[in-house]
């Protein structure tokens, strides 16, 4: 079963590459970009 799945995934990389790319991109975007967006918590709060 696992062997057949492995063979399938190897033959059809888009099936897992697309979700993987999406999740990696989302996490990277949130961690490296979204958290550095200016927020109203800083000095702008005056």
Partner 1 sequence: MTPRFWSLRDALLGIAITLLSLLGVEGGLWLMHVESARPPELSRGFDPSQQYLRPDPEHPGNWRTHLGVAAIDQLSLPPKGSARRVLLMGGSNTRGFREQILERALEAGSDGEWEVLNLGRPGYGSGRVSILLDQALSALDPDIVVIYSGHNEFVERSFRADYEKWGGAGMRWIARMAEKLRIARVLRDVARGQRPRRHDDPLAWIAEYGKFSSLPYSETQAEFERYGENLRHMIRASLGSGARVVLATVVWNRFSEPRVSTLGELDSAARVTVESDLRAARALYPAYFTPLLPAEAFDRVRMEDWGRTHGDAPRDLPGLRPLTGPLAGVEPRFFEGHWDPKIHVFYDALDKLHAGVAPERRSDLEQAAAKLDEVLALVPHHAQALFERALVAWALGERGERVRGWFEEAARYDHAPRKGTPLSNEHVLELAAEFPEVLLVDLDRHFQSTTEDGLVGWELMVDHCHLGPLAGEHALETFAARMLAAWPEEETR
Q: Which residues bind partner 1 (CB under 8 A)?
A: 7, 10-19, 22-23, 26-27, 29-31, 33-46
Cα–Cα distances (Å) from 11 to 2, 4, 16, 23, 24, in that order, read: 14, 11, 11, 21, 22
Provide, rounded to whole angstroms, the least separation between the CB of residue 2 and partner 1: 16
Smallest separation (angstroms) from partner 1 to the CB of 9: 9
Nearer to partner 1, 2 or 43 (CB): 43
Give me the least distance between CB of 40 and partner 1, in Å please. 5
């Amino acid at each position: 079963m696992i062997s057949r799945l492995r063979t399938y995934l190897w033959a059809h990389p888009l099936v897992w590459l697309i979700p993987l790319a999406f999740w990696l991109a989302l996490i990277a975007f949130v961690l490296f970009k979204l958290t550095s967006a200016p927020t109203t918590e800083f000095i702008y709060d005056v």
